[in-house]
Amino acid sequence: MSAQPTRALAVPFLGVLASLQLIDPSVANTALVKAGQALEMQGATLALAASISTLAQAATVLLMGFLGDRLERRQVLMAALLMLIAGDGIAMAAPHAGLFLLGRAIAGIAVGAVLVLSFAAVGAVSRPDQLGKALGVWHLCTITAFIAASLMGGLLANSSWRLALGLVPLLALLCLPWLPLLLPQMPANAKLKPDWPGLISIAGAMVLFLSGVSHAIKGFSSPQFLVPTLSGVVLFGLHLLIERGRQVPIFPFALYRRGCFAAAIVSGIAGNFAWAVVQLQTSNFWQLVQHFSTAQVALAQLPLLVCCAVGAVPAGRLMRAGRRTTQLMAGGTVSLVLGLLWFAAIRADSTYSSLVMPMVLVGSGLAFMIVPQATLFVQEAPLGSLGPVTAFRTTTGQFGFALGFAASGAMVDGFGSANLHQQVLKLGSTTVWSSELEAKVRAALGSGMLSHAKGLPAPAIQLMSDTYASGLGGTMLVAALLVGLLGAISLVLLVIGHQQRRVEQGARA
């Protein structure tokens, strides 16, 4: 195979590899209901089964990025695929909950490694002046493969949860022989030494923070939320102090003072926050209020996913250093905020067609934010820290997604419950029945689960639908304001970053 076709196919192949990080949790969560029943997982065990792969990934992505620099990145990618096959294989064949949890933890580490290594490898197979274009294609292939495989995983889960869990190992197995053919060898730096205090402190901070925000629906004052979340924030502050004093940190501490790097972090948090809010809450709205099936919800969200995938291509082609990056990110922020504001007008009787346009705006806005943000991470990474810096993009993304996931649930509950007591009393029921109904509606607001509506009369179900829609509208409005604020901060940081680059270029000249 000639060098030119290999380079042409390398970026799409890396996008397919990266999609495994999206496919794996999607398929696993779809299969978890039946797996939980078969393996008798309940309560805390079932909750841990749903989150353990994410926690394992959060704890190890920076280490995996470092290993990509320290060892040969292509070899580490192959090892990660083998680990993914082993992890999901263990979960698929697990006779009891313990082995299932072990398999899902191994799979979480593996998919995190595949994502950060494939992202860092894009720069190795692309010319610097073509990086934006390459990342646009990479993102397109990532989302396209995710759409196709997640739909397939949903169909498999309907027949067997074990069969569904076999999908990702099969895809990884199919990718293995192509990896050495399509990707060139990437130089390793054997002189790099791991910064264990930094790696351990940020791993602990992320695990504590993600564990805490997953309990936000119990209330921001609940110990389950406050203790781990605040502990994670404190530990992250300790991590920064550790890194500031280290001679060889995970990556140079001075990066935090660079405008472009800070802009990449803030915009990544904003984009992932918006993605979590829209993806989770539209899914809950269609299931709880409009009674869509799981398959119908997956199809209903296609405009969001397709626009996010397709929009990355023109965003990548338009990428240039300096003002073009700022213009793309500004356009993406405006589109994203407009889409969220459109969602804020949602009502219980809103038709599906009325929600297509805001999904198009949100998906397109995300694409025009993600590609410049990803490019900034690669451009700002020093040669000796490419792996950890690009892996930090995943860390910031998880932070933003977790905030969106937790905060949106809490806000829907808060906004929807504002006048709930008076609305329940208007139904003219007994005090006891009204209390039971109010409790059911609050539970539905918090979880988005249809099961809370069972056995209720039609007026009560309508109240539940109206209350959820009202809470969702308020949530989307707050999300729009927050994303707009973070987007504005990102743009200011970009301007500062471009000024810093001009000063550096002048000094070198």
pLDDT at 4: 45
Model pLDDT, residue 336? 97
| Cα-to-chain-centroid distance, residue 49 | 18
- Give the per-residue pLDDT at 295: 77
For the chain, helix, strand, coil in percent to 5 are 85, 0, 15
Per CATH, 1-181 and 258-509 having the same topology is answered yes
Superfamily of chain region 1-181: MFS general substrate transporter like domains (1.20.1250.20)
Please check whether residue 441 is in contact with residue 429, taking contact to mean a CB–CB distance below 8 angstroms. Answer: no
CA distance 62 to 122: 17
Find out if CATH 2.40.50.140 is the number for domain 258-509. Answer: no
What is the model's pLDDT at position 507? Answer: 80
**Three-state SS across 48-117?**
HHHHHHHHHHHHHHHHHHHHHHHCCHHHHHHHHHHHHHHHHHHHHHCCCHHHHHHHHHHHHHHHHHHHHH
- State the sign of the Cα–Cα–Cα–Cα dihedral 119, 123, 126, 131: positive
Whole-number pLDDT of residue 383: 79
Q: CB–CB of 380/264 below 8 Å?
A: yes
**Cβ pair 167, 19 in contact under 8 A:** no
Query: How many degrees, rounded to 5, is the angle at CA 348 between CA 285 and CA 358?
Result: 65
DSSP string, 349-387: T--SGGGHHHHHHHHHHHHHHHHHHHHHHHHH--GGGHH
**Alpha carbon distance, N-terminus to C-terminus of the chain:** 42
Return the pLDDT at 482: 96
At residue 192, φ and ψ (nearest 5 deg) are -65, 140
**pLDDT value of residue 419:** 60
List all residues 6 or more positions away from 500 whose beta carbon is below 8 Å from its beta carbon: 258, 259, 260
Tokens of 100: 């299932």
| One-letter identity of residue 181 | L
Indicate the residue type of 118: S
The reported pTM is 0.88
3-state secondary structure of 509: coil
Kindly give the confidence (pLDDT) of every residue in the chain, 509 residues in length, as a single tens digit, with 9 standing for 90 and above: 344 444 678 999 999 999 999 999 989 988 888 888 899 888 778 878 888 999 999 999 999 999 999 998 999 999 999 999 999 999 999 999 999 999 999 999 999 999 999 999 998 888 888 888 999 999 999 999 999 998 898 888 888 999 999 999 999 999 999 999 999 988 888 888 889 999 999 999 999 999 888 787 777 788 888 999 999 999 999 999 998 888 888 888 889 999 999 999 999 999 999 999 998 889 888 887 888 877 788 889 999 999 999 999 999 888 765 568 899 999 999 999 999 999 999 888 889 999 999 999 999 999 999 999 999 999 898 877 888 999 999 999 999 998 888 888 778 777 766 666 666 666 655 554 566 666 666 666 555 554 455 556 666 667 777 777 888 889 999 999 999 999 999 999 999 998 998 888 888 76
With 0-12 CB in 10 A as exposed, 13-18 as middle and 19+ as buried, what is 181? exposed
Contacts of 88 (CB under 8 A, 6+ apart): 24, 103, 104, 107, 165, 166, 168, 169
Q: Tokens in use for 487?
A: 């987007």
Domain extent listing, the chain: 1-181, 258-509
Q: Determine contact, residues 420/467, Cβ cutoff 8 Å.
A: yes
String of DSSP letters for 438-471:
HHHHHHHHHH--GGGGTT--HHHHHHHHHHHHHH
How confident is the model at residue 446, as a pLDDT?
A: 57
Distance CA 225, CA 205 (A): 14
